[in-house]
Amino acid sequence: MKKLENWQKSFFTIYIGQAFSLLSSSAVQFSIIWWITVQTGSALFLTMASVVGLLPQAVIGPFAGIWIDRYNRKAIMIIADIIVATSSLVLGIAFFWGIPSITFVYVVLFTRSLGETFHRPAMQAAIPQLVPKSELTKAGGLGQMVQSACSMIGPMLGALLMSITTLQYVMLIDIIGATLAVITLSLVKISKHRVILGSKFNVIHDMKEGIKAIKSNEALLRISIPMLISTIILVPLGTLLPLMVKNYFNGTALHNGIVQTLFASGMLISAMVIGVTGGIKKQFLMISLGILSLGMCSLIGGLLPASAFWIFCIVVFIMGTTGMISNIPYTAYIQKTIPQENLGKVISLVTSVMSFAAPIGMFIAGPVIEIIGISKWMIYAGILMLFVGVLSYLLTSEFDSTIQIEDTIYE
C-alpha cells in the first residue's frame, strides 16, 4: 500500500504542475487559432497553421525519442517547457511592438510544437517509471482526465481573455503555467531508466532498434494501421472546427469556445470513467468501438442544417467522449508491452508517423473543403471512419483473446 501511495503522490505532483501548463497552453492555442480564423477566414491558412505545428513532431520526433531513451527524461521535459514559454513571450512582445504577421505566428507555432515534440513522449515514457505496470491504464485515464479538463477550461479562458483584451496579454499566461510546471517537475524524483551498457550514441542504430521493437509486436503493428488512417481522416476535422462554427453556423468566438469546451468535456468524462474502471477488458475492441463512434458522430454532425448549432454541440460532446476510448488504451498498450530502453523511441516513432499522416489529411482536406464545404467533409469523413472501425476490429479481434494485458483492475 505504501508503494501505491508513493507513486500516486509523485504522479499527481507532476500533473498538478502540468495542469497549469496545459491550461495556459490550451488558452493560448485557442486564442492563436481564433486570431488566424478572424484575420483570414480561410481553411488554407488554418491548414497551414496545423501543418506548421505538426512538422517538428513528424520530422524531429524519431530523433527526439533517441535522446529521451538516453538522457534524463525529467530534464528534457523541463527544457521543453522553457522553450514553449519563451516562444509565447516572444510572440507577446511582437504583438506589443505591432508586428502581428501570419508568418511570425507560424514560426511561434512551429517553436511551440518543437518543445511539445520532446515533452509529450518524454512524459509518456517516464510514466512507467513512476506507475506500477498494473495501474498504467488507470494512470493513462487519470492523466488524460487532467489534460481534458484543461482542454475544456482552456478555450473558455481563451475566449474570455480575447473578449476583454488582446492576444499579447493572453500569451503572458503561458509563461506562468510553464513556470509552475517546471517547479513541480523539479520536486519529483524519477528513477533512471535502463540504458544498454556500452552502447554508443548512434542515431541510425537507435532508430533501427525502435523500429525493430515495433515490428516484433504484431498486435501493435495491426492496431496502428486503423489508428493511422483515423488520424489522416479526423485531424483536419478537429483543426477546422472553428471554421465550421464561424462559416457554417455563423458563430462567434464565444460559440467556438462552447464547441471546444464541450469537446473537451466529453474527453474529460470518458477519461474519468477509464481512469476509475480501466475500461472494458477487451481493449482492442474498445479501440475499434471508439473509431466507429467517431465516424458516426462525424456523419451526423455533417448532416445537420446550419440552424442546428446546439444539436451540433451535443454531437461534438459525444465525439470528444468517444475519442478517448481509442487513444487511452492504445497508449497504455504501448507503455505495457515495450521495454523501457526502447519506449521513448517507440512513442516518438509512433507520434512521428501519426504527425506525418496529419499533414497528409490536411493537404487533402484544405483545398477540398474550400470547394465542397466543411459540412460535406464531415459526412465523407464519417463514412470512411465507419469502414476504418470495422477494419480495426477485423485486424485485432484475435489479440483480445490471445494476449492478456496485465491489469489488477480485472483481477
- Within a domain: 196: no
CA gap 158, 24 in Å, rounded: 9
CB neighbour class for 211 (10 Å; exposed up to 12, middle 13-18, buried from 19): middle
Please report the pLDDT score of residue 300 as a whole number.
Answer: 92
- Within a domain: 410: no
Please report the pLDDT score of residue 198 as a whole number.
Answer: 46
- Within a domain: 70: yes
Please report the pLDDT score of residue 36 as a whole number.
Answer: 82
Please provide the DSSP assignment of 295-309 as one string.
Answer: HHHHHHHHHS-TT-H
Q: How many C-beta neighbours within 10 Å does residue 39 have?
A: 13
Q: How many domains does the chain have?
A: 1
Confidence band of 405 (pLDDT split at 50, 70, 90): very low
Does residue 113 surpass a pLDDT of 90? no
Q: Among the listed ranges 151-160, 218-227, 254-263, 292-301, which one has the minimum average pLDDT value?
A: 151-160
Please report the pLDDT score of residue 197 as a whole number.
Answer: 44
Please report the pLDDT score of residue 410 as a whole number.
Answer: 37
Task: Provide the greatest CA pair distance for the chain.
Answer: 65
Per DSSP, 247 falls in state I
- Evaluated on CA atoms 389, 369, 374, 27, the torsion sign reads positive
Does residue 408 surpass a pLDDT of 50? no
Please report the pLDDT score of residue 299 as a whole number.
Answer: 92
Looking at residues 22-26, what average pLDDT do you find? 82
* Percent of the chain's residues with pLDDT above 90: 6
Confidence band of 1 (pLDDT split at 50, 70, 90): very low
The alpha helices in 165-282, defined as continuous H runs, are 167-187, 203-215, 218-239, 241-243, 253-277
Confidence band of 195 (pLDDT split at 50, 70, 90): low
Please report the pLDDT score of residue 406 as a whole number.
Answer: 47
CA gap 96, 166 in Å, rounded: 10
Confidence band of 407 (pLDDT split at 50, 70, 90): very low
Please report the pLDDT score of residue 119 as a whole number.
Answer: 80
Looking at residues 299-309, what average pLDDT do you find? 89
- Within a domain: 194: no
For all residues of the chain together, what is the average pLDDT? 78
pTM equals 0.63
Which residues constitute the domain of residue 65?
2-187+202-405
Please report the pLDDT score of residue 402 as a whole number.
Answer: 54
CATH at residue 98: 1.20.1250.20
Q: How many residues does the chain have?
A: 411
- Report yes or no: 351 and 121 within 8 Å, Cβ to Cβ: yes
